[in-house]
Copies of this chain bind each other. A is one copy, B any other.
Amino acid sequence: MMQLKVQPIDIKVGKYKVVMNTIDAKELGVNEGDRVRIKDHRVLTAIVDFTEDMIAPGMIGLYHEVQEQLKKEWTETVEVEPADKPKSTRIIRKVMDGKRLDRDEIYELVKDIVEENLNDIELAAFLTATYIKDLSEDETEWLTKAMIDTGERIEFATTPIMDKHSIGGVPGNKISLLIVPIVAANGLLIPKTSSRAITGAGGTADLMEILAPVEFTAQQIKEMTEKVGGVIVWGGATNIAPADDKLIRIEYPLSIDPHCQLLASIMAKKGAVGAQKVVMDIPTGAGTKIPDVKTGRKLARDLINLGDRLGMDVDCALTYGASPVGRTVGPALEVIEALQVLETMEGPNSLIEKSAALAGMLLEMGGVAAKGQGHDLAIETLKNGKAFAKLKEIIEIQGGDPNVTYRDIKVGQYTAELKAPTNGYVLEFHNKRIVQIARLAGAPNDKGAGVRIHKKRGEEVKAGQPVLTIYAEKEDKLADAIKNAREDLPIVVEGMLLEKVADITELK
């Protein structure tokens, strides 16, 4: 045990971490990455970093999170002693050794994940091990339940609670902006939490934010949903299934999404908002997360099975994902396309049909449409303006302007067109390249940035016709996007010579 003087370090590291001088650490018998217990009016366990010069012997550097907890002032001292590793490190080792965990072990692990008791190395080892060898069905069920139980939960007094989730991977998937109002307009409750784009060009939360605030507490989500039937909010602002975000932080640099984590991540978020009947959109095809129908069916079965274990009724739709949904990618462009359908019923068939199909499934599951009648009721709800009216109510209750129309939404003022150099048909269409170009143009951070697609796979195009338009809010970002599009064409027209650079016209 040592008495050390506090030196605050005003940096957030997302963990309970402290810095000790190597001399003190050796004296205390701890190595880099070990834990120490800091005793005060409360006890806190923190991971130790070493320094030879930044923190003097006799001092202990406390990062922001530890300061927050201990509320110590500069010049005060704390008692420091070596602490054992949390039990979870042995549990992670079991996973690495291919051994099965019991319910209590999974709960212990998730608790330590939520409480930031595990370092990045330990979390990475856990996720790598589950990537290499999937958790069992039992373990995945416990993982999901533990994720739900370690965060905020919404419990509604009425039933059924509907929800919808897309596993992502297809650009331009703005369907929630249509589905949520269709479902709510038919008297069902749908508290839709959604995400912001991490690697995409715009998540549903990024889109909705153009129309209204999206950051609410679980309690607010509940109240708003009870009042108008639905919301479209950012899940990240709540404390719903917080373990999930902490695992995603580690999965992201590894570009992995272990199967059991994917299942638990989706279902925990649905379970925590009290969802009872859920439709899953599984975009399938080249350039998506699900390369083929066989893989899609396996995921669907696993989601349905896990739903069953959680007492949730899950239906899955394998949807066409090789081309974008609709013809726009990027927040403002997507919102315009969605609002236009709601306001005028004009818009791409792929968007209207996909939205109506999935909304229809929910209407049938919720008992407000007869079997086989959901799709038609969804189309009817769009046509008769009830869906648009409901979206306005949702916008209003979330604090936005309910009188918005698609004509009000601003897109980036800097644009460029990619034109076909020859007559022919679109032979190749690369989803990931479209997203990359939209991101280079500024999406999702610049809401007005994105890509409008004029020609999709299989469509005919004449020489000189535009195949896509890039939008940007900033001139240099447009230049970056154009440069990138030139280097590796996202859309290839039959007969187009690969070495021929497509004609790009800037329209300012």
- Check A121–B54 contact: CB distance below 8 A: no
A98 within 8 A of B: yes
In the complex, what residue of chain B is closest to A132 when comparing beta carbons?
A: B132
Q: What string of 1s and 0s marks CB contacts (under 8 Å) between A413-439 and chain B?
A: 000000000000000000000000001
How many copies of this chain? 2
Interface centre among A29, A34, A54, A442, by most chain B C-beta atoms within 10 angstroms, is A29
* Distance in angstroms between the alpha carbons of A119 and B439 in the assembled complex: 24
In the complex, what residue of chain B is closest to A9 when comparing beta carbons?
A: B11
A122 within 8 A of B: yes
Interface size class of A (residues with CB under 8 A): 35 or more
- Check A249–B32 contact: CB distance below 8 A: yes
A253 within 8 A of B: yes
Residues of chain B with a CB closer than 8 A to A127's CB? 125
A27 within 8 A of B: yes
- Check B253–A122 contact: CB distance below 8 A: yes
- Check B1–A11 contact: CB distance below 8 A: no
- Check A31–B124 contact: CB distance below 8 A: no
- Check A120–B129 contact: CB distance below 8 A: no
- Check A29–B445 contact: CB distance below 8 A: yes
Interface residues of A in 439-457 (CB under 8 A from B): 439-440, 442, 445
In the complex, what residue of chain B is closest to A255 when comparing beta carbons?
A: B93
- Check A119–B10 contact: CB distance below 8 A: no
What are the nearest 6 A-B pairs in CB distance? A124-B124, A128-B128, A33-B253, A121-B124, A26-B445, A125-B128
* Distance in angstroms between the alpha carbons of A10 and B19 in the assembled complex: 12
A43 within 8 A of B: no
* Given A51-B11, A93-B254, also A128-B133 (CB < 8 A): no
Interface centre among A33, A440, A442, by most chain B C-beta atoms within 10 angstroms, is A33
Closest CB of chain B to A65's CB: distance in Å? 12
- Check B125–A12 contact: CB distance below 8 A: no
Interface centre among A11, A13, A250, A445, by most chain B C-beta atoms within 10 angstroms, is A11
